[in-house]
């Protein structure tokens, strides 16, 4: 059977079935034609897809770099804190030695001045070493009592008022703003 002529030109349309084809075949043909048209519409622009993928990788690289930088800073801060803790622990162990050397000088016999001079030199070298490492001694005599800086060993009645440090039994020590050992004091009541 001949193909039906096109109404506008009078020519048969080559894409249209001639009518002698099976309706199932015609339906498959129409579905394939529609699917091809929708694929053309839905096909993304390869340049836009590549740009989107590049942006995604750039964001991932920036995020990874920021996470690594944060990790590096945190590791450096934790290492510094660990060093400070180790230094503070060593100093806590050395402070009784300083106290004992000071007591020895306080009770030194004037007849044995050469021995006292040796103890004085050792004490001075130890104190200088502590100061080079940022350790400062403090003597709070006459200051108001502060429980964050002082440890009250006892109280004594006075006329000067309550809460004043009267005597210092052991000096306190600081590493920067951190108290390594509070001053052991006698406080007015």
> Cβ contacts of residue 1 below 8 Å, gap of 6+?
18, 19, 20
Expressed as residue numbers, the domain containing 58 is: 48-133
Residue 151: which CATH number? 2.30.22.10
Q: Is 167 helix (H, G, I), strand (E, B) or coil?
A: strand
Confidence label for 177 from pLDDT (cuts 50, 70 and 90): confident
pLDDT in tens, 131-159: 998 899 999 988 999 999 999 999 988 88
pTM for the structure as a whole = 0.59
- The rounded radius of gyration (Å) of the Cα atoms in the chain is 45
Query: In this structure, what token pair is assigned to residue 40?
Result: 């053309």
Domain boundary among 133, 152, 169: 133
pLDDT in tens, 60-98: 999 999 999 999 999 999 999 998 888 889 999 999 999
Query: How many whole angstroms separate alpha carbon 42 and alpha carbon 34?
Result: 12
Domain boundary among 114, 133, 152: 133
CA distances from 177 to 19, 136, 173 (A): 98, 10, 10
**Axis crossing angle, helix 113-132 with helix 46-106, rounded to the nearest 10:** 170
Q: CB–CB of 134/176 below 8 Å?
A: yes
Q: What is the total count of domains within the chain?
A: 2
Q: Are residues 64 and 77 in the same domain?
A: yes
As a whole number, the mean pLDDT across the chain is 84
């Amino acid at each position: 059977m001949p193909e039906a002529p096109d109404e506008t030109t009078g020519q048969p349309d080559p894409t249209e079935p001639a009518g002698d084809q099976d309706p199932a075949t015609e339906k498959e043909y129409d579905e394939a034609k529609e699917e091809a048209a929708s694929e053309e519409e839905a096909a993304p622009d390869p340049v836009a897809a590549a740009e989107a993928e590049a942006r995604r990788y750039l964001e991932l690289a920036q995020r990874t770099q920021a996470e690594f930088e944060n990790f590096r800073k945190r590791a450096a801060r934790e290492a510094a804190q660990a060093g400070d803790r180790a230094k503070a622990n060593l100093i806590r162990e050395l402070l009784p030695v300083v106290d004992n050397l000071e007591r020895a000088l306080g009770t030194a016999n004037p007849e044995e001045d050469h021995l006292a001079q040796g103890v004085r030199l050792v004490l001075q070298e130890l104190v200088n070493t502590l100061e080079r490492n940022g350790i400062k001694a403090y003597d709070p005599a006459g200051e108001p009592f502060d429980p964050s800086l002082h440890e009250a060993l006892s109280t004594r009645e006075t006329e000067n008022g309550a809460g004043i440090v009267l005597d210092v039994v052991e000096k306190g020590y600081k590493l920067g703003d951190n108290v390594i050992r509070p001053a052991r004091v006698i406080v007015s009541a």
